[in-house]
Amino acid sequence: MTIDDDIATDSNRADPRRHVIAPAPVANLPVVLPPEHNKHGKPLLLKYGLLLIVPLFLVLGVGYWWNHSATALPPGIVFGNGRLEADEIDIATKFAGRIATLSADEGDMVKAGAVVAVMDTRDLEASLQKAQSMAGQAERSLDEARANLDQQQTQLRLAKQEFDRTSTLVPKGYATAELLDQRRQQMEAALAALNAAEARVGAAEHMLDAARHDVDLYKVNIADNALVAPHDGRIEYRVANVGEVLAAGGKVLTMLDTAYVYMDVYLPTGDAGRVRLGSDARIVLDAYPAHPIPAKVAFIASQAQFTPKAVETKDERDKLMFRIRVRIDPERLRARAEAVRSGLPGIAYMHTDPNAIWPPQLQGSPSP
């Protein structure tokens, strides 16, 4: 390599913006080129980095604004995070048996008393027929015992009349004392037979009552094999299917009681101690942020507990929290049962001062 070539090479190294590469002998290839720059002189990495950082700052800013707006409440109002819940009711079998029919499925709205499933009751129906036959036989036995009682009453009257006549004849000498003793024994025997007949009537009546109770019991058991919804609500899960054999207490369906909807939140001691049962509250769901739902404080735990992992708190240093339940008015829910959803996250706001005024964004809303 010549001296001129060395000078050109040093010049290129000193100024990276120059793209002139001195020719090199084939023996010295390949030649390492400097990294490519854009026309503005900025690295491509910086350009793409800015595209990622700007949205990130926007998200953080929106989150800060939301948290700041949520905590910017007038005095006398506290809040906590939670999820909307509804009471779950398991519709289960009373007896072991096979599912015959299902008349409800997941997502269906059902009314209280509606039949949602029927168990196979052929064995109970056969037992019912047997009990009815036994009841009929007990009725006939009772009729026979009553007829025998009438007969013994007649025998006793006759024996008493003969004894009375003999008693008047003995003093006159027209009857012997031996005959009088016989008449007395006959009367006593008739009285004993009458007592026995009365006892048989009582036993027959008890047997008839027992047979009738058996009939009623089988009728109740057959009726209990028709599974009904205890409250108005929505079927959440179908646990079993037609034809499956379940043990006693086996779950068939699980429903949500749409009349008992609530949100459990956790508050630190300072806030929980100022909340009272029956205090006015508002529930704001993430799905409906513009529609605060009026509610009431229905439960305050008497003992503190460690904060569950799924609950977000405004102060991470508060480890012991009190569980508070905020419940929506059942009358309000009755007209909006179709809109009830379980598991929706949101925030529950509560009054610690009954004279506190709700801010405009937490005023009661007629919907959802």
> Could you tell me if residue 330 is inside a domain?
yes
Residue 13 has pLDDT above 70, yes or no: no
Helix (H) or strand (E) holding 100: strand 97-102
Please tell me whether residues 114 and 246 are part of one structural domain.
Answer: yes
Mean pLDDT of 121-136: 95
- When divided into structural domains, the chain yields a total of 5
Residues β-bridged to residue 346? 82, 285
- 309: domain CATH number is 2.40.30.170
Q: Which residue has the higher pLDDT, 245 or 268?
A: 245
Domain boundary among 236, 251, 266: 251
> Could you tell me if residue 113 is inside a domain?
yes
Give the torsion through C-alpha atoms of 40, 46, 51, 56, to 10 deg: -150
Please tell me whether residues 129 and 113 are part of one structural domain.
Answer: no
> Could you tell me if residue 160 is inside a domain?
yes
Domain boundary among 224, 242, 273: 224
Please tell me whether residues 81 and 148 are part of one structural domain.
Answer: no
Domain boundary among 224, 240, 268: 224
- Could you tell me the residue range of the domain that residue 336 belongs to? 73-88+254-362
In 3D space, the residue among 350, 284, 282 whose CA is nearest the CA of residue 322 turns out to be 350
Please tell me whether residues 215 and 141 are part of one structural domain.
Answer: yes
Please tell me whether residues 284 and 294 are part of one structural domain.
Answer: yes
Q: Which residue has the higher pLDDT, 312 or 136?
A: 136
Please tell me whether residues 305 and 352 are part of one structural domain.
Answer: yes
Instruction: Work out the mean pLDDT of the chain and round it to a whole number.
Output: 81
Mean pLDDT of 62-66: 47
Please tell me whether residues 195 and 78 are part of one structural domain.
Answer: no
Residue 150 has pLDDT above 90, yes or no: yes
> Could you tell me if residue 367 is inside a domain?
no
Identify the three-state secondary structure at position 356. coil
Please tell me whether residues 184 and 104 are part of one structural domain.
Answer: no
DSSP 357: -
Contact between 238 and 263 under an 8 Å Cβ cutoff? The reply is no
> Could you tell me if residue 368 is inside a domain?
no
| pLDDT for the residue 99 | 96
Range name among 12-21, 105-114, 245-254, 260-269 with the lowest pLDDT average? 12-21
Please tell me whether residues 305 and 163 are part of one structural domain.
Answer: no
In 3D space, the residue among 281, 301, 303 whose CA is nearest the CA of residue 292 turns out to be 281
| pLDDT for the residue 8 | 45
Identify the three-state secondary structure at position 78. strand
Helix (H) or strand (E) holding 293: strand 288-300
> Could you tell me if residue 308 is inside a domain?
yes
Calpha distance 21→29 (Å, rounded) = 12
Range name among 126-140, 257-271, 287-301, 330-344 with the lowest pLDDT average? 330-344
Please tell me whether residues 108 and 240 are part of one structural domain.
Answer: yes
> Could you tell me if residue 355 is inside a domain?
yes
In angstroms and rounded to an integer, the radius of gyration of the C-alpha atoms of the chain is: 46
Please tell me whether residues 268 and 352 are part of one structural domain.
Answer: yes
> Per-residue pLDDT tens for 266-297?
988 888 889 999 999 999 998 888 889 999 99
Mean pLDDT of 319-326: 86
- 113: domain CATH number is 2.40.50.100
> Per-residue pLDDT tens for 155-168?
999 999 999 998 89
Most confidently modeled of 30-39, 243-252, 263-272, 299-308? Answer: 243-252
Which residue type does 96 have? Answer: A
> Could you tell me if residue 127 is inside a domain?
yes
pTM over 0.85: no
Residue 115 has pLDDT above 60, yes or no: yes
Please tell me whether residues 265 and 306 are part of one structural domain.
Answer: yes
